[in-house]
């Protein structure tokens, strides 16, 4: 079984992002970039499936600028066998990414796609679901446990009320949640081995996909600063302020 793992290059989660002065977006100049944490969990899970003998090959794929090769090398250092980059400088929105991943999935003839439930930059949480719809495959989102049983996958999902366990027929799409696993520490020998692994490069045109943005961002702004709280002397004053100032009662 071939497993495809999409990974995204994002601003490192330890970095405090800043809005550009012209409010056209987030400033990423000279900012540390890394693999989306949810995608890192997906690579780890795919690697574990291969170590168990369930998967035969793990292929990492990324869509974006040339620097995404660094993210793919990290994925191969974790355990992916090879990688593919769909290289473009265009602004990629979830639907465009889903279309590119559909083309790559069909090209690779993968039986399972494991990806992070969302990216920490836009928090869209859309790509996995859109990819499942485009391929016509079953999907299991927010996975906290994955068990492959023959031609199906038993997935424990995190839902509002607790946990839900479902079974989906392969081929399928699975999106990962934080509690699925803890990614391994990438060692120096594995980083060196990853430099020698195969990394193919395509363009959206090679795959016959139009990635023209359909949504235009008008303005990006920081949330307003919270006002300082006050201490009231008694309950009567509290009720008065809630009623006349906050107008919540």
Strand (E) or helix (H) holding 131: helix 127-135
Question: pLDDT band for position 93 (50/70/90)?
Answer: very high
Query: What value does the mean pLDDT take over residues 177-197?
Result: 93
**Does residue 216 have a pLDDT over 90?**
no
* Mean predicted lDDT score pLDDT of the chain: 93
Q: Are 13 and 120 in contact (CB under 8 A)?
A: yes
Closest residue by Cα to residue 112 from 56, 68, 51, 182:
56
When pLDDT is cut at 50, 70 and 90, the band that residue 230 belongs to is confident
Q: Distance between CA atoms of 121 and 99, rounded to whole angstroms? A: 20
Q: Sketch out the chain's domains with CATH numbers.
A: 2-244 (3.40.50.620)
- The answer to whether the beta carbons of residues 135 and 105 sit under 8 Å apart is yes
DSSP string, 66-86: TTHHHHHHHHHHHT-SEEEEE
Query: Helices (H) and strands (E) in the chain — how many of each?
Result: 7, 13
Rounded to two decimals, what is the model's pTM?
0.85
* Residue 81 confidence (pLDDT) above 90: yes
φ/ψ of residue 42, rounded to 5: -65, -40
By CB atoms closer than 10 A (0-12, 13-18, 19+), residue 178 is: middle
pLDDT per position as a tens digit, 120-172? 988 999 999 999 999 999 999 999 999 999 899 999 998 888 899 999 999 99
Residues 6+ apart with CB under 8 A from 139: 128, 129, 132, 168, 172, 173, 174, 175
3-state secondary structure of 33: strand
**What Cα–Cα distance (Å) separates residue 165 from each residue in 19, 141, 175, 190, 191?**
40, 11, 14, 35, 36
Would you state the torsion angle of the CA atoms of residues 63, 67, 72, 76, taken in this order, to the nearest 10 degrees?
Answer: 170
DSSP annotation of 53 reads T
């Amino acid at each position: 079984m071939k497993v495809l793992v999409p990974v995204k290059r994002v601003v490192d989660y330890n970095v405090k992002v800043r809005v550009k002065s012209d409010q056209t977006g987030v400033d990423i100049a000279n900012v540390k970039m890394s693999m989306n944490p949810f995608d890192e969990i997906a690579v780890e899970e795919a690697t574990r499936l291969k170590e168990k003998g369930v998967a035969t090959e793990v292929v990492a794929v990324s869509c974006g600028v040339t620097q995404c090769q660094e993210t793919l090398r990290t994925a191969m250092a974790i355990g992916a066998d090879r990688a593919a980059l769909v290289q473009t400088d265009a602004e990629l929105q979830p639907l465009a990414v889903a279309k590119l991943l559909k083309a790559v999935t069909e090209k690779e003839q993968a039986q399972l796609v494991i990806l992070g439930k969302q990216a920490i930059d836009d928090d869209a949480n859309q790509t996995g679901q859109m990819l499942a719809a485009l391929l016509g495959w079953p999907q299991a989102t927010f996975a906290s446990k994955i068990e492959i049983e023959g031609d199906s996958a038993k997935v424990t999902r995190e839902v509002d009320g607790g946990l839900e366990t479902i079974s989906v027929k392969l081929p399928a799409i699975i999106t990962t949640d934080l509690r699925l696993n803890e990614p391994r520490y990438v060692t120096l020998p594995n980083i060196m081995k990853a430099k020698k692994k195969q990394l193919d490069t395509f363009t959206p045109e090679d795959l016959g996909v139009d990635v023209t943005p359909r949504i235009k961002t008008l303005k990006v702004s920081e949330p307003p600063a919270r006002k300082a709280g006050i201490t009231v002397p008694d309950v009567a004053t509290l009720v008065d302020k809630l009623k006349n100032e906050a107008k919540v009662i």
